[in-house]
Amino acid sequence: MAPRGRASRHTADGIVARLEAEADPANVAGMARYGIEPKRALGVSAPKLRALAREIGRDHALALALWRSGVREARILAALVDEPGEVTEAQLERWARGFDSWDVCDGVCCNLFDRTPFAWEKAAAWSGRREEFVKRAGFVLMAALAVHDKLAPDGRFEAFLPVIEREAGDGRNFVKKAVNWALRQIGKRNAALNRRALASARRIRRSDSASARWVASDAIRELESEPVRRRLAAARTARRRGTKPRAGRPRKRTSP
């Protein structure tokens, strides 16, 4: 994080120039295959962005300036260097309205927004919004909180399940994939939530909506899978013994 009271040695223009120097047109051309909006994209890889974020450190003012640039990679980087404690509710709303691709939406929600004091409120509120990527952001936040907020009680996630059931019929690809992701991550948090998420999925599967049935069937497939069963059982055993279970990497598709 840049020291308080001192100017950062980095500028948004300088960072964008560095990103432009790393531009890879072949990567930009390939983004369309994954449903990524190529407008103002440079094709800089995620490992390079993370390395640059480590070099910069936390810098709220720089993050705001990077976001204003409108460059895809600069916006992803902005979420990596911003200081969650300095993010305002107005900033969340402003950035969410600027989402125009699933990768920027997910990167901002999973690397920054879910660590702010507004995450739970926005997860619930945005899930009912009409704008495609704002709505997606609501469900991405649910998934991210299920992974990252280790201290949250089960009841907070149970409250999301009726919302997931309500919105599972949204046929837009970027929305339904996020609804499914939220349902799966809640159901993988622990055995009790697994049972509740499966109950929700079975209700959703009875829907007349093909999108809702896909959301449910895909979630049930994973939540009833042997790897998930084993991991939940191991976590239950570890809690009884007072030991810490080994963390498993949450599954996330590379496409939306």
Q: What is the DSSP string of 130-174?
A: SSHHHHHHHHHHHHHHHHH-TT--HHHHHTTHHHHHHHTT---HH
User: What is the C-alpha separation between 225 and 203, in angstroms, rounded?
Assistant: 19
Displacement of CA 185 from its chain's centroid (Å): 11
CB 220 within 8 A of CB 178: no
Token pair recorded at residue 185: 């991550």
The confidence score (pLDDT) of residue 254 equals: 42
End-to-end Cα spacing for the chain: 31
pLDDT at 221 over 50: yes
Q: How many CA atoms lie within 13 A of 210 on its CB side?
A: 3
Give CA separation, 157 vs 10, 126, 189, 192, 193, in Å. Answer: 39, 16, 9, 11, 8
CB 215 within 8 A of CB 202: no
Q: How many CB atoms lie within 10 A of CB 182?
A: 30
Task: Categorize the per-residue pLDDT at 171 as very low, low, confident or very high, splitting at 50, 70 and 90.
Answer: very high
Give CA separation, 240 vs 120, 194, 251, in Å. Answer: 29, 18, 26
**Residue 114, C-beta contacts closer than 8 angstroms, at least 6 positions apart:** 141, 144, 145, 148, 149
pLDDT at 37 over 50: yes
Per-residue pLDDT of 76-118, as tens digits, reads 999 999 999 999 999 999 999 999 999 999 999 999 999 999 9
Task: Categorize the per-residue pLDDT at 236 as very low, low, confident or very high, splitting at 50, 70 and 90.
Answer: confident
CB 256 within 8 A of CB 153: no
